[in-house]
Structure 1
Amino acid sequence: MAKTPRAAGTKRKAPAKRPPALSAKKAATKKAPTKAARKTAAKKPRKAGAKAKMAAVVSSSGASTPGRLIPDPGSATVRMYRIGHGDCFLLAFPPETAGSDPIYVMIDCGYKPGSPGKIEPPRTMKDIADSIRAATGGHIHLMIITHEHQDHLNGLTQTYFKDFKFGEVWCAWTEDGSDAFANMLRERFNDRLVGLMRARRSLATALDRLSAAGDRDMARAARRMHSRVSELLALEIGGEDDDEATISSFERELSAARKTERPTSRNKTALAFVKDRAENGIRCLRPHERILKVSGTAGVRAFVLGPPRNEKQLLDLDPVGEEEFHIAPFGADASNARTVPLQTSPFAARHSVSLDDSFFDGRHGAFFREHYGNGSSGRDRKNAETREVPDDAAWRRIEHDWMLSAESLAIAMNDYTNNTSLVVAFELGAGGNVLLFTADAQRGNWLSWDRKSFKDGEKKLSVKDLLARTVLLKVGHHGSHNATLNGHRSSKYPSLGWIAAQGDAARQFTAMITAVPAWAKDQPGWNHPLKAIEDALLDKSGGRVFRTDLDRKAMERRRPDDDKKAWKSFLDRTVFDDLYFDYKVPFEE
């Protein structure tokens, strides 16, 4: 939640002219390859390397797609990059002026370290950046940052994007340095982050002591907790490595950032990198304020649905009752329980003493030994066996149960950041199809979407209507249990049941899940995607669910057999590549 470096909407001097890009008009004049030529090309092996990935690919329909991403007239193209366990989307909209370049909108660019290697063939961030450069000519008209998490930001660095030009930057109101409520939330979050860093250090100390004492079971638990807390902290810190040095240095960086107000974490550095290059200004957006026109497009409008400006809703993290997609009744991961509030000890460190040290404290050691005992003393030991409750009973001591609280605090903080996600719906022309990008929004964010309507001229436009016209859904938080609400069309709250509820939208509905299960299964508590959610999406869409790790053959195996015509129509709109999926969405059927 970094402070905005300059006022929203400010202008910069116009950049120098770039070499003319391939326009839609010029692209249309190229001759389509003959059927024989396509067969010959298909037999040739593809060359490895970035150049091959930027070259033309052949879609499932047989149409040639150039390195430059050019949407068809009357359609938008959504490119989902197979970046790993993380989000990176590139949208291409037809321009308002015929013959002009398409308008490119990019949403996030990040991944969890280690996850790209779990996709076949493995890819690198350089491959992704090279592809984006080829697709856009290095010019992103609108860059959207949904929230400050590693798997949404760590690709946006000088290393990969130094020669890119960014037009406007959109982020949530939580990034507005002039917003008192946002600043208060930011300070409170940073305080808790410092507390979590201290808890992580305490876990390391406990691990050393338990190992030295030969307590293998507790040492194993401490090691697992330390690893889990470190993993969750990495999401808040950012960067392309989850190594010990990166995480250990963050507490110093955070302390410096709070004094100098300079972004020093990797997430904040990535955010600042993009903001500093915003040639047409930065907008920190609030939900329901107004309908936004996506500048330069042929009638594309944007509706900001979240995050809510209500702390209670921001802290409302998990679905309840009928809102849930249920996990298996037995064997559910305990980490799904979120029972610890977002707070650390109410006492400052100078008023605290560890349990082990308390027994030998010069001023208070006798009291602790007498009433909480360490097995070596206790008042009236001769009569201890006759007492119903010994003074130094072991159950009086919490001992190492605090380790569970450290993990729960880390999970809760992670979920809180998810719930501050910027949620945007793109409408393809007034009354047209809708693309919904939910980032990692959780329960409170979802429930806030329909609290207000949008003013559309003299009329009111409801969020329920927008969701009913949604034909493409970016599934929340890798398909996790708490980022998609279950429900029906008649439910009183926004849910999957509200989405694609109209006839035309229902027939087109397609979903995108940014998940690599082969990587997630090795992370404690990362059940991504939840099978119940993925199954519901497959059923709702007729099998049209993109997932980062699945190629065309894998998707074919998941499709139903009863509607071959609908599946062919889907394939005709789709390009499968090692680096990305392209999906064409018409403005209206």
Structure 2
Amino acid sequence: MAAAKKTPTPSKKPPRATVRTYRHGLGDCHLVTLYGARKAKYQIMIDCGVILGTANAGAVMTEVMDDILAATGGSIDLLVATHEHWDHVSGFAQAAESFAKLKVGAVWLGWTEDPKDADAKQLRGERDNALALLRAAAVRMQLDGGGDGEPNLLTSLLDFFGAAARTTTASALELVRAKVARPRYCDPKDLPVELDGFRGRIYTLGPPRDMKMLKKTLPSAKAPETYGMALAAAERSIGQALANPEQQPFSNAFRIPSRVAQSTPFFQQRYWNDEAWRRIDVAWMDDASELALALDSMTNNTSLVLAIDLDDVGVLLFAADAQVGNWLTWSDCKWRVGGKPVTGPDLLARTVYYKVGHHGSHNATLKAGGLERMTALDVAVIPVDHAMALKKKWGDIPLDALVTALGKATTERGYVVRTDEELSATAKRRGARMTRLYVEVDVF
């Protein structure tokens, strides 16, 4: 009988990095500590947010920010905001008083947030126009009786932009930008930033410069990827409906005013009842939901993706919410370091720690061009709150098939962590630590 394999135990040598991921709900917040010579530390904070609708969100995010202040002594080397979604940036505003106490050496944002970049200006213009239409559509939906107070696709997607909050994603991002005089707007074409004294460097993999790839968000069996709905077509459809409040499927000669019909027993029984599928008066709102999905996915695809390469250890990959188009462009990323070529696939092959994209959704971890290339993967961490995802009607977060694939990819050397679940026995044996507020992983 073959001898049973021994489970790897935590290394006795000092770690090269520690990643603390907060368990504050459906959102992202990470504190990365790199260790260098003579007990030097380089500390990076990546995102700080939680989904709109989280109970006591201000108190929750203040607790997170206060923990970061305590863990860092009130000072970090680098602050990263990956993209303009509420579940990634809300904490900067919700915990503004605590955030104001944090000293920051540098701020990194994606090139898509550069106010002087022409392509970024175009993207912001498209996003702002779409958001204005969607907010108007959400109000019109309520007025037309298309909302019953329960979350629907349109309103839940608008949550990502803080549409119902006193502050917005844009204002939260401004608090980040204001931390330093000159933020860096990262581009995949940039040379990696050397981490002097820490035997490593940081590469930018995304967001891509290709506008077509920014809008490429969904996998498909036919392509195998397809594009989302074109923003312009959806905007025209919604704009026409909003510009004509009386727009209806039938002409005046064949139409009864809504208020009259609502008070008529015949229509009360046959129309305003539980069989909402029979109604066609708000069918035009299908385009609003399609537009919201396209806008949400494209914003995810503007995620700043960082690969922290520690020479003697491997790569820590923080993919934020990058979706298909973002991932696909990494194959074209090339740099020269020390006279030798380095490519995006090289970095994936050396990835030992993966912050799983977009809470483990179906289109935020590529298969052949992503996870299957991570042949050295030790640890995968999924920041997620499945109970909240269910409330938001996102039942497939995290996707079971992806969680299974991550388990297979890490089973020989490491483990998978979900922030909404307790650590597995294997994760504990292999050195992971968890408190009520965060999970912490050492990288050797």
TM-score over 0.5 for the alignment?
yes
Aligned-CA RMSD value: 3.2
- Equivalent positions of 1:177-576 (< 5 A) are 177-207=115-145, 219=146, 222-223=147-148, 227-237=152-162, 242=164, 246=166, 265-278=167-180, 281-294=182-195, 297-321=197-221, 339=229, 341=231, 343-345=234-236, 352-355=243-246, 368-369=251-252, 373-374=254-255, 399-429=281-311, 432-487=313-368, 494-499=369-374, 501=375, 505-506=376-377, 509-542=378-411, 544-552=415-423, 555-556=424-425, 571-576=429-434
Which whole-Å deviations, capped at 9, do the CAs of 1:80-131 have from their partners, x for residues lacking one? 11121111000111145x244x11101001111455789xxxx822321221
- Equivalent positions of 1:158-177 (< 5 A) are 158-177=96-115
Matched, 1:145 2:81: yes
Seen in structure 2, the aligned counterparts of structure 1 residues 498 and 347 have a Cα distance that, compared at 3 Å, is closer
Of 104-113 and 518-527, deviating more is 518-527
Shift of 1:522: 1.8
Of 350-359 and 150-159, deviating more is 350-359
Gaps of 5+ in 2: 1-8, 258-278
Contact 2:249–2:281 (8 Å) recurs in 1: no
CA distance in 2, matches of 1:526, 1:418: 19
Partner of 2:69: 133
Contact 1:236–1:267 (8 Å) recurs in 2: yes
- Which amino acid is 1:414 matched to? D
Gaps of 5+ in 1: 1-59, 64-71, 208-218, 247-264, 326-335, 360-367, 377-396, 488-493, 560-566
Contact 2:216–2:227 (8 Å) recurs in 1: no
CA distance in 1, matches of 2:223, 2:71: 39
Matched, 1:584 2:442: yes
CA distance in 1, matches of 2:217, 2:148: 27
Secondary structure (helix, strand or coil) at the match of 1:478 reads: helix
CA distance in 1, matches of 2:123, 2:346: 32
Seen in structure 2, the aligned counterparts of structure 1 residues 116 and 91 have a Cα distance that, compared at 3 Å, is farther
Shift of 1:341: 4.3
CA distance in 2, matches of 1:447, 1:413: 19
Seen in structure 2, the aligned counterparts of structure 1 residues 224 and 482 have a Cα distance that, compared at 3 Å, is farther
Seen in structure 2, the aligned counterparts of structure 1 residues 184 and 356 have a Cα distance that, compared at 3 Å, is closer
Shift of 1:168: 0.2
Secondary structure (helix, strand or coil) at the match of 1:518 reads: helix
TM-score under structure 2 length normalisation: 0.83
Which whole-Å deviations, capped at 9, do the CAs of 1:190-237 have from their partners, x for residues lacking one? 111111111112101211xxxxxxxxxxx5xx4378743222112113
Secondary structure (helix, strand or coil) at the match of 1:401 reads: coil
Secondary structure (helix, strand or coil) at the match of 2:217 reads: coil
Q: Equivalent pairs: percent with the same residue?
A: 34
Seen in structure 2, the aligned counterparts of structure 1 residues 356 and 444 have a Cα distance that, compared at 3 Å, is closer
Contact 2:137–2:242 (8 Å) recurs in 1: no
Shift of 1:159: 2.4
TM-score under structure 1 length normalisation: 0.64
Partner of 1:77: 18
Shift of 1:448: 0.7
Which whole-Å deviations, capped at 9, do the CAs of 1:264-318 have from their partners, x for residues lacking one? x522222221221226x31001113211123x55122011111111111011010
Shift of 1:523: 1.4
Partner of 2:3: none
CA distance in 2, matches of 1:74, 1:351: 58
CA distance in 2, matches of 1:358, 1:469: 57
- Which amino acid is 1:175 matched to? E
CA distance in 2, matches of 1:337, 1:286: 23
Contact 2:90–2:169 (8 Å) recurs in 1: yes
Which of the two has greater strand per residue?
2
Seen in structure 2, the aligned counterparts of structure 1 residues 232 and 180 have a Cα distance that, compared at 3 Å, is same
